[in-house]
A and B are shown apart, each in its own frame.
Chain A
Amino acid sequence: MLDLLMLGLLAAVFAVAFRYVHACVAVTTPEGQEHVP
C-alpha cells in the first residue's frame, strides 16, 4: 500500500515536470525573441 502511495507521488511530480516542459515551450514566444535594436 505504501509502495503505491510512493509511486503515486512520483508519478505526480513527474507529471508536473513533463507539463513544465510544455509550459516552457508555450512561454518562449516569437515575441520573446524580439529585442530593442
Chain B
Amino acid sequence: MTWEGWTQIAIFAAVVAALVKPLGFYIERVLAGEGTWVQRRLGPIEGAVYRLAGVDPAREQAWPAYATSLLVFNLAGILLLYAILRLQARLPLNPEALPAVAPDLALNTAISFATNTSWQAYGGETTLSYLSQMAGIAVQSFLSCAVGIAVAITLVRGFARCSVPTIGNFWVDITRITLYILLPVSIPVALFLAWQGVPQTFAAHATVTTLDGATQILARGPVASQDVIKLLSGDGGGFFNANSAHPFENPNAVTGIVEMLLIFLVGAALTNTFGRMVRDERQGWVLFAAMAALFTIGLATLYGAESAGNPAFAGLGVDQVAGAAQSGGNLEGKEVRFGVGQSSLFAAVTTASSDGAVNAMHDSFTPLGGLALLANMMLDEVIVGGPGSGLFGMLLFALVAVFIAGLMVGRTPEYLGKKITANEVKMTMLALLSVPAAILGGAAVASVVPAGLAGLGNAGPHGFSEILYAFTSAAATNGSAFAGLSVNTPFYNLGLALAMFIGRFMVVVPVLCIAGTLAAKRSVPASAGTLPTTGAQFAGLLVGVIVIVGGLTFLPALVLGPVAEHVALIAGSRY
C-alpha cells in the first residue's frame, strides 16, 4: 500500500461524506414536491409529462397498484429495448452497419438494463449501434435508476406515514427523480467528461495510421452522455467492452475519482434523505455509518491483498514492492494510469454499489481480492448499493436486526415507531432470500451441466469463482464481470437473465408490500423498552447481522472458490 493510494481513498471518502447532507436534503425536497430552484424551471415539463401520460399527480396508489405500475413500466421498457436491439440494422445511427443483436443476447441485455444490472455479454463497440446505446441502453439506465430510488422512498414513506393506505404515485416519483435529480447532474458532468477527453460524436469509428505505420480502428461515438448515467444510475454498462478501463471512458485519474463519486453519490445521500423523512437525521447517519464500516472492511481487505502482490511471483523472486521504479503489488489486469490504489478503490466502490463499471479486470485480482469483491455483492449490496436498492436493502437488514433484538428480550420489535409484525418479517425474509437463492441455485446448476462448464476459462476453484461471480453479479443487480467465462451462450444469456429478474423483482415486490403495511399502521411512542436505533450500539448490531447472515449463506461457496484458490496458490497450484 502506498501513501498516494490512501490519499486518493481519503479524498474520495471526504467528498462523499461532505455531499451526503446537501444532496440528501435536495432529494427529500424534490420527492416531497417542494419547490426547488430546478423544479421551478422544469416544472412545466413535469406537468406536460403528466398530461401526456394521463396521470393525476394528486392521486396516490396503494402498494399493489404501485407494484403493478412498476411491473408494467418495466415490461414495456424491456420490450422497447428488445425491439431496438433486434431492429438496429434497419434503424438510423448505425454507421458501422452492425447487424441485429441475437435473440437470446437481446433478451439478456434488455432485462439486464431494465433491472439496473447492466450485465453485458457483448462488447458495446462491436455489437450496438449508436441508437441502441442512446435510445436503448442510456434511457433504461435513467429509468431503472429512477425505479430503484422510487422503491426506496416508498419504504421510507411507510415508516414516516401513519394510518395511510397509500405509498405514493409511481408515475410521479419516477418523473420527478428523472427530471430533477438524474438529468440536472448528468448534463454538466457529461460536458466535464467530454472536456477531459471522452468522445461525444455521431461520426463513425476512425481509421488511423500508427507511428509504426500500422492501421488501427479507433472506436468512438456518443460516449460522454452515456458514461455519466452509467455511473450515476448504478447501472455500469460501458459504451466500450473495457468499460472504465478504456481511455475514452475514463481518461485520467481525475475522471476516475469523479466516476467513483458519481457511483456512490445518490446511494449515500439517500441515507440522509431517509433520516429527514422520518424526522430524525441520526437514523440516517446510523445507516451511513454501517455502510462505511462494511465498505472499509472490504476495501482494506482488497487493497491489502492487491498491494501484497501475487504469492506465486513472490515464490519466483519477482520484486513486487512499491518503489521509485514501480507501483508494486499485483498489477495484472490493471491500468498503469490508475495503479493498484485507484483500481482497488474503484473495484470496491463498483461492487459495494450495484454499479458494475470496472477500471480493472476483476478476474486478474488475487483470490483474496476477488473474495472481497464477491462478498461486497453477496451482502445484498447494502454497502451504499445502487441508488435506492442500497437503502431498501439496508432497511430490510434493519428490520431483521430489530426482530432479532426483540426475540432476545421477548418484546415485539419496533423500528421508527412502527411495530414489526409477522407480515413485515415474512416479506423481509422473502426479499432477503430471493437473491441468495438465485446466486447459489444458478451457480450450482452451471457448475454441473455441460452448457455451464463449456464457458469456463479456468479449471479448479478459479473456474468455480468465475461461475459464482457471474450469478452473484447478475442476481445482486451489479453487472460487473469477472471475465474468464464465455457467457454469450443461450445457457448463460437466459440463466443470468432469470437471475437478474429474480434479483430485482422478487425483492422489489416484497419491499413495496412492507411499505404498504407499515404506512397503514399507526405509530407508537417510544418507551423505556424501545431499542434505541440512533447510536453506535445499533450500528454494530446492524453490521453484525449483515455479516452473520451473509457469512452463513455464502461461506461454503466462497470456501470452494476464492478461499480454496488462495490456499492452493500459496501451495504452488495454479489454474
Contacts and interface: CB of A to CB of B under 8 A. Distances in A.
Interface residues of A, number: 26
A7 B497 CA distance: 13
A22 B509 CA distance: 10
Interface string A25-37: 1011101111111
Interface string B73-87: 001001100100010
Contacts of A34: 421-422
Given A6-B82, A6-B107, A18-B71, A25 B426 contact: no
A6 B498 CA distance: 12
Given A10-B78, A21-B64, A24-B510, A35 B423 contact: no
A35 B517 CA distance: 14
Nearest to B410: A36
A17 B506 CA distance: 7
Contacts, number: 75
Contacts of B68: 18, 21
A25 B136 CA distance: 33
B71 A25 contact: no
Task: Identify whether the interface residues of B are mostly helix, strand, loop, or mixed.
Answer: helix
A23 B319 CA distance: 60
A10 to B, nearest CB: 6
A24 B505 CA distance: 13
B300 interface: no
Given A3-B103, A10-B78, A10-B107, A21 B67 contact: yes
B423 A6 contact: no
Contact of B421 (A2, A18, A21, A33): A33
A10 B427 CA distance: 25
B441 to A, nearest CB: 15
A9 B111 CA distance: 12
Contacts of B537: none
B180 interface: no
B559 interface: no
B281 interface: no
A25 B104 CA distance: 33
Contacts of B86: 3
Please indicate which of the listed interface residues A7, A21, A29 has the most CB atoms of chain B within 10 Å of its own CB. A21
Contacts of A9: 107, 494
Contact of B426 (A18, A32, A35): A32
A27 B411 CA distance: 23
Contacts of B494: 9
A35 B430 CA distance: 20
Interface string B84-110: 001000000000000000011011000
Task: Identify whether the interface residues of A are mostly helix, strand, loop, or mixed.
Answer: helix
A20 B82 CA distance: 24
A17 B508 CA distance: 10
A27 B103 contact: no
A27 B430 CA distance: 11
Contacts of A22: 64
B501 A5 contact: no
A6 B106 contact: yes
Contacts of B411: 36
B513 interface: yes
Contacts of A29: 423
Given A6-B106, A13-B498, A21-B67, A32 B78 contact: no
B423 A32 contact: yes
B221 to A, nearest CB: 27
Given A6-B104, A18-B71, A20-B506, A33 B521 contact: yes
Interface of B: 64, 67-68, 71, 75, 78-79, 82, 86, 103-104, 106-107, 111, 411-412, 419, 421-423, 426-427, 430, 494, 498, 501, 505-506, 509-510, 513, 516-517, 521
22 contacts: A7-B82, A9-B107, A9-B494, A10-B111, A14-B75, A17-B71, A17-B501, A17-B506, A17-B509, A18-B68, A20-B506, A20-B509, A21-B509, A22-B64, A24-B427, A25-B64, A27-B423, A27-B426, A32-B423, A33-B423, A34-B421, A36-B411
Given A14-B71, A20-B506, A36-B411, 8 more contacts: A5-B103, A17-B71, A17-B509, A18-B71, A20-B505, A24-B513, A29-B423, A33-B422
